[in-house]
Amino acid sequence: MLELSHLNIGISDGGRGVEPILTDIELTVEAGQAVGLVGETGTGKSLLVQTIGGLVDHPIVAEGAIRLDGRDLLAMELDELRKILGRELAILMGGGRSRLNPLERVGNQIARVALDHDESLDRKDAYDRAVELIRRVGIPDPEIRAQSYPHELSGGMCQRVVIAMSLVNRPRFLVTDDPTTGLDVTVARQVLDDFNSLIEDSGLGLLIATGDLGIVAQYCDRVAVLSGGRLTENADVKTFFENPEHEYSKRLLEVTELDRARAAGDKGGGNGSGE
């Protein structure tokens, strides 16, 4: 179980206090469960993901608890936390190319992450695992692409490499922030289907922060809604889409339906010239 308990995140103002950003966040992700974290841009989804992964530093401060099977990650020393992150708990962010070392071949980068967390692997096994994951995330010619540098790959391929890197140690929990950014619809669906298979086959727990309610509807078991610095709704998917309780949730769903209607009109409307 991944559990956020009374989690407060804010910005320190130089000793005079802390300006709150997210307040009293309570959220649980069970093994074998997918939870969608939704909200408009600027509601704090990315900040929450980064905080769970220990990716924030001063002046961002966090209080409360982030527990993984009862162990409070916020209370851990950095060395102890590093043993868990990337192995038991992996963090996956968007912006693939910016998260890769431009001077190292991508296959070696993925293999190095495996070696850092699994002393039983030798270099060949780690590299073979990297190539297999490159294949699994839908990159063609994985043996060749593993030898590429990031600048030799498209932005979408770089994002798929980052996804492979997050999965290389077979984590029990995956926390993601818009993981399919930069991917075309077909590849995005393939990646999400792969997450779904991991949930079913190995009991992966998934927290996915996204602004795409379509992803939530198709791939998640529960929905958590961020608004005004708080979780305003936490419900199972069916209840959320059929009978949301909070006014903000209702507005999100209305905007989503409007966007879908506009997209359908754009596809079917043509340009009025008969061409």
267 domain-assigned: no
**How much is the pLDDT for 259?**
61
Co-location of 80 and 205 in the same domain:
yes
Residue 102 has pLDDT above 90, yes or no: yes
Co-location of 209 and 143 in the same domain:
no
Co-location of 23 and 79 in the same domain:
yes
Co-location of 147 and 220 in the same domain:
no
pLDDT in tens, 197-224: 889 988 999 999 998 898 999 999 999 9
Residue 18 has pLDDT above 80, yes or no: yes
**How much is the pLDDT for 263?**
58
Co-location of 84 and 177 in the same domain:
yes
Co-location of 6 and 130 in the same domain:
no
Residue 66 has pLDDT above 80, yes or no: yes
114 domain-assigned: yes
Co-location of 31 and 152 in the same domain:
no
**CATH code of the domain containing 43:** 3.40.50.300
**How much is the pLDDT for 261?**
58
Co-location of 61 and 144 in the same domain:
no
Handedness of CA 163, 96, 118, 133 (dihedral sign): positive
264 domain-assigned: no
**Of 153, 170, 187, which residue sits at a domain end?**
170
Co-location of 160 and 66 in the same domain:
no
246 domain-assigned: no
**Of 144, 170, 196, which residue sits at a domain end?**
170
256 domain-assigned: no
Co-location of 58 and 120 in the same domain:
no
The mean of the pLDDT values for the chain is 88
Per the structure, the complete domain to which residue 16 belongs is given by 1-88+173-234
272 domain-assigned: no
Residue 180 has pLDDT above 90, yes or no: no
Residue 275 has pLDDT above 50, yes or no: no
Q: Name the band, by pLDDT with cuts 50, 70 and 90, for residue 93.
A: confident
For the stretch 134-141, contacts whose Cβ atoms lie closer than 8 Å and that sit 24 or more positions apart, written own/partner, are 134/106, 134/107, 134/110, 134/160, 134/161, 134/164, 136/164, 136/167, 136/194, 137/161, 137/163, 137/164, 137/167, 137/190, 137/191, 137/194, 138/187, 138/190, 138/191
pLDDT in tens, 103-154: 999 999 999 999 988 888 899 999 999 999 999 888 999 999 999 999 999 8
**How much is the pLDDT for 262?**
58
pTM: 0.86
- What CA–CA distance (Å, rounded) separates 3 from 68? 6
What is the rounded average pLDDT of the residues 24-46?
Answer: 93
The better pLDDT of the pair 261, 242 is held by 242
**How much is the pLDDT for 181?**
77
pLDDT in tens, 250-270: 988 887 765 665 556 665 655
Co-location of 180 and 166 in the same domain:
no
